[in-house]
A and B are shown apart, each in its own frame.
Chain A
Amino acid sequence: MKHYRSMISPYVLWAFGFIIIPFIMIMVYAFTDGGLSLTDAGFSLDSFAEMTDSLYFTVFTRSFSTGILTTLLCLFIGYPMAFFITKFDERVQGTLILITTIPMWINLLLRTYAWIGILSDNGLLNSFLKMLGIGPVSIMYTGIAVNIGLVCNFLPFMILPIHTSLSKMDPSLLEAAYDLGANKVQAFTRVIFKYSIPGVLNGVIITFLMAISAFVIPKMLGGGQFTLLGNLIENQFISVGNWNFGAAVSLILAIVILAAISFLKRIDPDGTV
């Protein structure tokens, strides 16, 4: 084992150069007030104080509520899909899983443009509604459009771990539940669902993290009307140029993500899902 240890040194260097140093930079910028310059900067908590501004606070709450809503929708759509897929025999299951992940192979921008085509005022959805005689609906550039985009984008990340969990279950566990007097509903709630909890938690945490840090989808489908944390950070660095504030927000987001991942490690230490 020792023998191979030296082989990872290029990776250590790479990680140091491209992950550790940038992260330290984020911390430095977050706790200073010198703008881009680091030479005449002093320690300051101004950036964190600025976050309490109601404008930014709204972005935080909107991000978290969007994340929660997206996660719940993914769970309620994804769980039945994952469950349904396990009912088929193994070869068909492989195909069905492939189908659910196909969107992931298409570029995110293309997928999001496709949604614009569907949801825009003259888009597919409204043409279809017109045929039915229902009046045009304006969904584009609202929270609804962003949520639809997020749910569709992250659904595979919910389906995959739940399916993995469920497909590992020995069918005799279900028979044992019936044998011990459980009806179909009880067998589901007391055995199947409980068995799949590690997969559910995995899916929930991954989906939630990706949803609160998303920025391409809210930017394109929300059109600047629906700012989330990712957009806020992007704006601070690229348009506003307030690196200190951008770094502070990034730091908060990073802490949330790390906390969630360490929680995930605790509930599923072997990474079995």
Chain B
Amino acid sequence: MKNKLIELKNITKSFDQQEVLHNIQLYIRPNEFLTLLGPSGCGKTTILRIIGGFEEADSGEVIFDGKDIAKLPPYKREVNTVFQKYALFPFMNVFDNVAFGLNIKKVSKAETKKRVLEMLKLVGLEGFEKRKIDQLSGGQQQRVAIARALVNEPKVLLLDEPLSALDAKLRKEMQMELKKIQKKVGITFIFVTHDQEEALSMSDTVVVMNHGNIQQIGTPIDIYNEPKNRFVAEFIGESNIIPAIMKKDMLVAFDGVDFECVDSGFAPNEEVEVVLRPEDLVLTPPQFGKITATVTDITFKGVHYEIILKGEHRDYKAQTTEYHEIGTELGISVIPSNIHVMHKMKEV
């Protein structure tokens, strides 16, 4: 199996002298579910549009299957897109929408019908062929858009925040559904979202972006457990980020206490930052903790409580299933493997 289906080399793009993509290097493997994740304006949609052919990069190469396609118009590319607002043709029914690409390619009537019906079945819209677009719910329109793209058997499906217009429950359903469809058709999905939970639960690979730069590329587990810098740690999930000194390998000091950890390879006494996920803070009676702190706020979140504790140096955010009265003094400790040490982020 070839390892790189799409490769972006040194991609740079500006709009009105504003640089939106800065020297992007990225490759995408066949059959993977890759998510471009970042806050709005980070350049994720621009990357998608460059792959789709709707924008041209100012410099750099877009290699697709070994060929540079940077200058190829969208209709000559083996990719299809699911647009953010679906962009279904309002004057056509569901069948004609899905059949659009096949009609353009002059596929025979019988073959078109077979493939369209198959695709509608795949997305769970059997029997909807004759429906008008404005008679469909948001979720159904979403499915039509996916069917319309997939029926062309692209090598890559580009999805531009396709779930952002759906309500929370439907979005969860569609996440599962999309993942299932991707497994079934076995092609590469490139998914753009600003929703970190969506990215973590669906992707094989997550690309975290900010200000036109790639911050980190990795599996969802890597990204969550081993964030490379402060931005990634803050953007993905909740975290306590604490300035620290790496005394030596496997020993880090913060808030006046030495902690054993599992990180190494830093310079002695290097200034670093430590990420502690709220669920990794172990709350104990004060005498057993390495840090002592007082509960100042507690919020019920369903499965757990979220607690804010005030210590000598800072506030800590913790999650626990036990209730603690406001004003209670508690001890905090963390097991070594849950302490994640990062290089200090250069101020941008």
Contact = CB atoms under 8 A, between A and B. Distances in A.
Contact of B81 (A179, A182, A191): A179
A173 B89 contact: yes
Nearest to A196: B91
Interface string A228-241: 00000000000000
B323 interface: no
Contacts of A176: 81, 83, 87-89, 148
A175 B80 CA distance: 11
Contacts of A182: 75, 100, 104
A53 interface: no
Given A170-B85, A172-B87, A173-B87, A178 B104 contact: no
Contacts of A190: 100, 104
B331 to A, nearest CB: 56
A69 to B, nearest CB: 29
Contacts of A191: 89
Given A173-B89, A195-B91, A180 B80 contact: yes
Contact of A175 (B54, B90, B148): B54
B52 interface: yes
A181 B152 contact: yes
A183 interface: yes
A186 interface: yes
Interface residues of A, number: 18
Contact of B148 (A178, A180, A186): A180
A172 B85 contact: yes
A178 B89 contact: no
Contacts of A170: 85, 87
B74 interface: yes
A186 B149 CA distance: 17
Given A180-B104, A181-B101, A186-B104, A175 B87 contact: yes
Contacts of A179: 52, 54, 74-75, 79-81, 149
A197 interface: yes
B73 interface: yes
B105 interface: yes
A265 interface: no
Given A180-B104, A180-B152, A181-B152, A172 B83 contact: yes
A130 interface: no
A177 B88 CA distance: 10
Nearest to B80: A179
Interface string A28-42: 000000000000000
8 contacts: A173-B89, A176-B89, A176-B148, A178-B74, A179-B52, A182-B100, A182-B104, A183-B75
Leading 4 A-B pairs by shortest Cβ distance: A180-B101, A172-B87, A176-B87, A178-B74
Interface of A: 170, 172-173, 175-183, 186, 190-191, 194-195, 197
Given A172-B85, A183-B75, 15 more contacts: A170-B85, A172-B84, A175-B81, A175-B87, A176-B81, A176-B88, A176-B89, A178-B54, A178-B75, A179-B52, A179-B149, A181-B75, A186-B104, A191-B89, A195-B90
